[in-house]
């Protein structure tokens, strides 16, 4: 028997526990932790927007502020997405466990274990990438202080160089510099951990969906194998019926599970797509703007933002494309087997799969976006169009 929580999502569980979003064992201490972390994230966005109260609003200032505020707003949206949908996350994991519990064939167990290994491996890779990003963002503001001590550079000049994100705390920022820096570092740690934990959990669900489609293909191939079709007696005919029935059943459950995954987070996904396009446009503009002005530290920040947005957009759309590809593979498997040699009843069951597979299965967000590589290209094209417009107006 496979335990999804401990065998496939063990690292995801640790990451979600660290930020208070694991859907099980919600004690009062965990609830306090969740409220505290969410407050830290949203307060950072608010303190960026309050800068409009005390600063003269030029076009450069507006773009600079919104380009960073929208990036940190991703953390708020994603954290809130898992927080308010805790029961949906729990239902998804339980449904996945239920499907795995029904697997009895050793080859089917081997398939799902293989995709569970993929889940652990990708989670480990993105966790390592997240840790490296956290260290980079924490150490970047400190380097000017280190060099300032060694080279005897003016302290106020160092602090102005170190603070790259526009905030308004309504306090003396030089006096409380390290307290403000602590707030920023806490946001980086919580935000990137949130992005990693939630993203890899959703990615793990997608990987298991691909594994279940693979099992459906395997069951069809086994039912229609040459050995079965050579001697169609009553025993073999009953066996073929059962295997085709189980193939149809897991195919149906996989589609139902996928629809549940999308419907649980549909509103948040739609909001994220909108912010992805706007934020990518603004940060791409900020990269070119700061590169031309020679602001190296700010340039690095925005370049990191652009890379992160590109990576997230690509991964989400690539995951949707993979689900479509695996769903199509079930259709091609049913089409390519020698179904015409099977009994009439089996042919009708295979026809059911062919009819379902004749219409390509997509991850559809609110009827507006079909998650795929083509969608990724469309979003990039849209964001580059907005960037080109801003750049031409600025010139």
Query: In a 3-state reduction of DSSP, which class is residue 364?
Result: strand
What pTM was computed for the model?
0.87
Query: Which tokens sit at 173?
Result: 């920022």
- Is the pLDDT at 119 greater than 80? The verdict is yes
What is the distance between the alpha carbons of residues 237 and 343, in angstroms, rounded to a whole number?
7
Is 93 buried (19+), middle (13-18) or exposed (0-12) by CB count in 10 A? buried
Q: Helix, strand or coil for residue 359?
A: coil
Residue 158 lies in domain: 4-394
Query: CB of 255 within 8 A of CB of 363?
Result: no
Nearest to 102 by CA among 9, 169, 2: 2
Return the number of other C-beta atoms located less than 10 Å from residue 147's C-beta: 12
Q: What is the largest CA-CA distance in the chain?
A: 91
Segment 73-91 mean pLDDT: 92
CA distance 219 to 241: 11
Nearest CA-CA partner of 21 in 6, 38, 5: 38
Cβ proximity of 163 and 297 under 8 Å:
no
Query: Tokens 């089996």 appear where?
Result: 346
Quote the pLDDT of residue 311.
Answer: 87
pLDDT in tens, 187-235: 999 999 999 999 999 999 999 999 999 998 888 888 777 565 566 666 6
3-state helix, strand, coil in the chain (%, to 5): 80, 0, 15
Predicted local confidence at residue 111, as pLDDT: 92
pLDDT digits (tens, 9 = 90+) for 303-332: 888 888 898 899 889 999 999 999 888 888
Q: Say yes or no to pLDDT of 239 above 90.
A: no
The 10 Å CB-count burial string (b at 16+, else e) for 173-194 is eeeebeebbebbbebbbbbbbb
For residue range 265-293, what is the model confidence (pLDDT) as tens digits? 988 899 999 988 999 998 888 888 888 87
Question: pLDDT digits over 92-111, tens only?
Answer: 999 999 998 888 788 999 99
d(CA 305, CA 283): 7
pLDDT tens profile 371-384: 899 999 999 999 98
Query: Residue 2 and residue 21: Cα distance in Å, rounded?
Result: 23
- Contact, 74 vs 268, CB < 8 A? no
Query: How many domains does the chain fold into?
Result: 1
Burial 46-83 (b: 16+ CB within 10 A, else e): ebbeebeeeeeeeeeeebbbbbbbbbbbbbbebbbbbb
Mean pLDDT, to the nearest integer, of 106-126?
Answer: 93
């Amino acid at each position: 028997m496979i335990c999804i929580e401990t065998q496939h999502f063990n690292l995801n569980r640790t990451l979600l526990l660290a930020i208070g979003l694991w859907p099980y064992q919600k004690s009062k201490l965990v609830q306090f932790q969740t409220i505290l972390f969410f407050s830290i994230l949203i307060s950072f966005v608010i303190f960026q927007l309050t800068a409009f109260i005390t600063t003269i609003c030029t076009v450069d200032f507006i773009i600079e502020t919104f380009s960073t505020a929208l990036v940190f707003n991703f953390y708020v949206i994603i954290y809130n997405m898992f927080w308010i949908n805790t029961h949906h996350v729990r239902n998804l994991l339980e449904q996945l466990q239920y499907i795995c519990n029904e697997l009895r064939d050793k080859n089917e167990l081997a398939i799902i274990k293989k995709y569970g290994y993929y889940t652990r491996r990708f989670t480990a890779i993105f966790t390592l990438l997240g840790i490296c990003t956290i260290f980079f963002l924490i150490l970047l503001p400190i380097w000017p202080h280190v060099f300032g001590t060694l080279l005897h550079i003016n302290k106020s000049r160092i602090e102005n160089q170190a603070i790259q994100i526009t905030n308004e705390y309504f306090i003396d920022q030089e006096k409380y510099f390290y307290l403000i820096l602590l707030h920023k570092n806490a946001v980086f740690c919580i935000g990137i951990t949130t992005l990693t934990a939630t993203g890899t959990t959703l990615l793990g669900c997608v990987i298991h969906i691909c594994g279940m489609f693979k099992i459906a293909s395997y069951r069809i191939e086994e039912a229609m194998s040459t050995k079965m079709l050579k001697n169609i007696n009553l025993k073999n005919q009953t066996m073929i019926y059962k295997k085709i029935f189980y193939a149809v059943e897991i195919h149906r459950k996989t589609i139902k599970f996928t629809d549940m995954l999308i419907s649980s987070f549909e509103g948040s996904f739609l909001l994220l797509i909108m912010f992805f396009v706007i934020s990518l446009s603004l940060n791409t503009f900020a990269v070119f703007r700061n590169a031309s002005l020679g602001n190296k530290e700010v340039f690095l920040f925005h370049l990191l933002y652009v890379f992160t947005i590109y990576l997230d957009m690509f991964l989400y759309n690539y995951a949707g494309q993979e689900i479509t590809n695996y769903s199509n593979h079930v259709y091609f498997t049913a089409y390519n087997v020698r179904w015409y040699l099977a009994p009439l009843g089996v042919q009708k069951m295979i026809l059911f799969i062919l009819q379902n597979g004749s219409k390509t299965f997509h991850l559809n967000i609110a009827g507006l976006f079909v998650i795929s590589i083509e969608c990724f290209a469309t979003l990039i094209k849209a964001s580059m169009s907005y960037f080109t417009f801003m750049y031409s107006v600025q010139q």
